[in-house]
Chain A
Amino acid sequence: MRLVRRGIIGVFWVLLTVFVGLNAFAGAQPDGQEITKRADKVRVLADSQSFLVRVSDFSGGKLLRATTYKVYTKGQDFSLVDTVDPPRLRGRKMLMNGNNLWLFLPEVKRPTRVSLQQRLTGEVANGDIARTNFEADYLAELAGSEVIGGKDCYKVKLTARHKDVTYRGITYWVAKENFYPVKATFFALSGKELKSAEYGGFKPLFGKTLFTQLTIRDALQPSKYSVLQYYNHKKENLDDTFFNKESVGE
C-alpha cells in the first residue's frame, strides 16, 4: 500500500513537472504587445536622437518630388521635423508633442496647430514621419503567422488606443527570427485599407540594428508610392523645452 502511494505521488510529480515545462515552452511565444515593442526597437536609435529622412514620391515609377527632413525625436511623444530640401520649402517645420501637431511656415512666422491626418507629402502623413513607434499608440493582438517575402512572420493586429493616432488599425508582420518589421497595412475607421508599408535597409548603427528604408504604397493606386530613406542617425541630448511650440520658429 505504501509502495502504491509512493508510486502515485511519483507519477504526480512527473506529470506536474511535464505540465510546468510545457507551459514554460508555450509562454516563450510572445504576445502581440511584446512583438510590437521589440519591433519598435528597430525604429529608434536612442531616447533622444536625430536623423535625416529623404522622402521620394513616385507615380508610375517616375519620381515626382523629393523632400529631405531633419528629424529630432525624444522618447515616444516628442518630435520636430525640419525641412532642409528643396530650397523653396526650407524652413518649414512640423512639431509633434503627444498627439498634438503644429506647423511652422517661414511666411507666417508662427506655429499653427494642424491635424495628424493631414498629409505631409505624397503618400506620407505627418504621423508617418513624426511618430516612431506603434506600441504606445496601438493595442496589439497576435493573429497568427504568415510568410511574407520569404520570411516567417508573426501577424499582429493593431488597434488604435485613442482617436488621435494617425490610423485606426494596422496589420503588422514582424519576422520571427529577429523581430524586424517586414510589412504593415494601414486602415481607416471604416475598415477601408488606406496604404501599406514595407520595411528594409536594415543596418547596424551604434551597436543596434535600425531599418533605414520604408516604402509606403497607396492601397487604391499601387503605382503611387513614397520611399523614405533614413540616414545620418545621431544620439542627441534634447531638453523637453526643445519641443515646446514657442521655441520653434525664426
Chain B
Amino acid sequence: MSDRSFFVALALVFVSAFATAPNAQGAYRFKVESRLGYHLLNNRDLATHRHRLEVGYDKRLSRTWMFRGSVRATSEAAYAANPERFGQSAGRSNSSEFVVRDLYLEAKRSPWQLRVGNQQVVWGEAFGFYYADIINPKDLREMGLWDFESQRIPLPMVQFKYLGSSWALQGVYVPSPSFHQMPSQGTDFFPSGYALGDVTIAEDGAPSFSFSNAEFGTRLSKQLGSFDLSTFAFSYFDRMPNYEASVVSLQPLSIRLKPLHRRIFTAGLTGTLDFSSFLFRWEALYTPTRWFDYLANGTIATNSSPELTYVLGADYTGLGSWYCGIQFSQTKRVKSYAGALTAENPALLSLHLNGSLWKDLSLDTTWSYMISDRGLLGQFRLIQPLSRAVEFQLGADALLGPSTSQFGQYREASRAMLILKAYFGGA
C-alpha cells in the first residue's frame, strides 16, 4: 500500500463516518496567538514577530465515534524584517507555514478505544523536557522551549487501548515515520559551533512507505493506590539525525551533509508516587544501540553505544495554589568516543515554580542548570487573563553559561516576549 493510498483510505473512512451522521453536532474552535520578541543581549533586535491561527473542529458522530481535526497557519516576519542578523536563507522555510495538526477518528466502546489518523501520543511523567515523550517528533526550531503541545508534530498512526478499571494496555502503529524539525542555518537555534559557510545540509526525508519502515510500540500502565507505574517499548527511527558527510568540491571546499535516521529500540519505565505533601516522579529509558556522530580524521563518523536516561523529580504540594517541583535527569552513554559532536553524559537539574501572584496574575518559571557543562536556561512567564477568551503573557528566555555549553552556545538567542492568546468557539 503506498503512502497516497493510505491517506485516500483514511479520507474515505472519514467521509463515510460523516455521511452516517449528517445531523450530529459539531463545534469549531479557534486559537489566535501573536508574539513579539526582542533579543536581550548585544543587538537588542527583533527576535520574533509571529502570528498563528489554529482552527479545530470536533464532531460527535455517535455514542461511540468522534471526529477531531485541526489546522494551523503561521506567519513569522522576523526573518524578513531583520536580514542583517538572520541572513537571506533563514526566512525561506521559516516565514510561513500551513500544517494539519490533529486529524483523527476515535471510537470509544468500553473497554476498547481506537484512534486512527494524525495524532499525538504522549508518554512520561517528567516536566520541562522530552524524555519518555519519544513517539511524536518535535519542532526544535526554537529548541523545544515552552508550548510542548504546539511543538509536538502529530503523526498518522493507529492507536488502540484496552482499559481495565485501574490498568491499561496501549498499542501504537506508525505506518510512516517522521523526524524532528531542526533549526535552519542562520536562525537563533542553529548550532553555533558549525562554520557552515561552505557546508550544505540535504533535506531530511521520511523513509519510503513500507511495512519494514513502520514503527510500533506498546505500553502497559497500572495504578496501585497512590502509585502510578508504566512500562513501554517502542521500535522506531531515531527522531534526531546522524549525518553522512560527502565532499562536493575541493576548490573551493564544499561539503554536503546527508541526514540519516537509523532504527532504534527503546524500553522504559515511568511512575509517580503520591505522599500527599510530596509527589515523586521518575522515568528510566534504555536504548541498547543509539547512534551518534563524532569527528574523526577530519570528517564525520558515526558510532553506537547503549544509552540510559533517568529522571527523578519531586513536587511539593503544600503551597495552596502554588506548585513547586524539582527534577534531576541524566543521560549516560556506556561507550565513549573522542570527538563526539553531542554531549555524552549530560546531567540537568531543573526547578519549576507556578502559581498565583495577585488576583488572576500568575507566574510560571522554570530554571534548568546543566551540571555537566555549567549551562543555564531560565524561562519566565507572567500570565494575565484579560477576559474569558483572551490572555496576555510577558515572558523571557535566558540562555546562559560558557559558549561550549548546550545552553550557553545559544546565549545570543536570549529574548523577552509579549504574547497575546485568544480562544473562541468550542462546545
Query: Which residues in B have their C-beta under 8 angstroms from that of A90?
Result: 29, 423, 426
Q: Are A88 and B317 in contact (CB under 8 A)?
A: no
- Known contacts A90-B423, A244-B166; is-contact A85 B149 (Cβ 8 Å): no
Given contacts A87-B425, A109-B152, contact A100 B223 (CB under 8 A): yes
Which B residues are in CB contact (< 8 Å) with A117? 276-277, 317-318, 320
Task: Return chain A residues, CB-CB under 8 Å to B149.
Answer: 106-109
Whether A118 pairs with B317 at a CB distance below 8 angstroms is yes
Given the complex, which residues of B lie within 8 Å of A113, measured CB to CB?
A: 125, 228, 272, 274, 279, 281
- List B contacts of A107 (CB < 8 A): 147-150
Q: Which residue of B lies closest to A106 (CB)?
A: B149
Extra contacts besides A113-B279, A246-B170 (7): CB < 8 Å: A106-B149, A107-B148, A115-B274, A118-B317, A164-B226, A241-B110, A247-B163
**Pick from A85, A87, A112, A244: contact of B165, CB under 8 Å:** A244
Complex interface bits, A67-84 against B, C-beta within 8 A gives 1, otherwise 0: 000000000000000001
Q: Judge if B138 is at the interface, Cβ distance under 8 Å.
A: no
Q: Does A86 contact B (CB under 8 A)?
A: yes
Q: Does A93 contact B (CB under 8 A)?
A: no
Binds A, one of B184-192, B288-296, B384-392: B384-392
B388: nearest chain-A partner, CB-CB: A86
Q: Check if B321 is an interface residue, CB within 8 A of chain A.
A: yes
Q: Is A147 positioned at the interface, with any CB of B under 8 Å from its CB? A: no
A110 contacts chain B at the CB level, 8 A cutoff: yes
Return chain A residues, CB-CB under 8 Å to B321.
118-119
Chain A 22-47, CB-CB to B under 8 Å as 1, else 0, gives 00000000000000000000000000
B274 to A65, Cβ gap below 8 A?
no
Bound complex: CA A164 to CA B425 (Å): 38
B423 CB to nearest A CB, Å: 4
Q: Separation in Å of the A160 CB from the closest CB of chain B? A: 11
B86 at interface, CB cutoff 8 A: no
A247 touches B113 (CB 8 A): yes
Contact with B along A210-223 (1 / 0, CB 8 A): 00000000000000
CB of B120 to closest CB in A, whole Å: 6
B151 to chain A, nearest CB (A): 10
Cβ of A56 within 8 Å of any chain B Cβ, yes or no, is: no
> Are B164 and A244 touching (Cβ within 8 A)?
yes
A247 to B107, CA, bound (A): 11
- A234 → B minimal CB distance (Å): 15
Across-interface contacts of B385 in A (CB, < 8 A): 65, 86, 88
> Across the interface, which residues of B come within 8 angstroms of A97, CB to CB?
166, 223
Assess the A87–B120 pair: CB atoms within 8 A: no
* Central interface residue in A106, A164, A241, by most chain B CB within 10 Å: A241
Q: Which residues of A contact B (CB under 8 A)?
A: 59, 64-65, 84-88, 90, 97-100, 106-110, 112-119, 163-164, 239-242, 244-247, 250
Q: How far is the CA of A118 from the CA of B421 in the complex (A)?
A: 26
Residue B323 CB within 8 A of the other chain: yes
- A37 to B111, alpha carbons, bound, how many Å? 33
Complex contact A164–B276 (CB within 8 A): yes
Q: Determine how close the nearest CB of chain A comes to the CB of B361; give it in whole angstroms.
A: 11
- Chain A residues with CB below 8 A from B113, complex form: 247
B261, CB-defined interface residue at 8 Å: no
Give per-residue flags for B283-314: 1 if the beta carbon is below 8 A from chain A beta carbons, else 0. Answer: 00000000000000000000000000000000
**Is B389 a contact of A86 with CB atoms below 8 Å?**
yes
B213 at interface, CB cutoff 8 A: no
Closest to B281 in A: A113
A100 touches B148 (CB 8 A): no
Q: B333 interface residue, CB < 8 Å from A?
A: no
Q: Are A88 and B421 in contact (CB under 8 A)?
A: yes
Please tell me if the beta carbons of B110 and A239 are within 8 angstroms of each other in the complex: yes
Question: CB-CB < 8 A to A114: which residues of B?
Answer: 279, 315, 317
Distance to closest chain B CB from A95 (angstroms): 11
Complexed CA–CA distance, A59 and B360 (Å): 12
- Asked if B165 contacts A241 (CB within 8 A), the reply is yes
Q: Mark B354-390, 1 if CB is under 8 A from A, else 0.
A: 0000011000000000000000000000000101111
Q: Measured between alpha carbons, how far is A50 from B161 in the docked complex, in Å?
A: 25
Contacts of A85 in B (CB 8 A): 388
A87-B147 CB under 8 A given contacts A118-B317, A246-B168: no
Q: Give the nearest-CB partner of B226 in chain A.
A: A100
Distance in Å: Cβ of A187 to nearest Cβ of chain B: 16
Contacts of A64 in B (CB 8 A): 359-360
A87 and B426 contact, CB distance less than 8 A: yes
Could you tell me the distance in whole angstroms from the C-beta of B189 to the nearest C-beta in chain A? 21
A10 CA to B3 CA, complexed, in Å: 100
Quote the shortest CB–CB distance from B306 to chain A (angstroms).
27
Determine the chain A residues whose CB is within 8 A of the CB of B427 once the complex forms: 84
Nearest Cβ on chain B to A146's Cβ, whole angstroms: 30
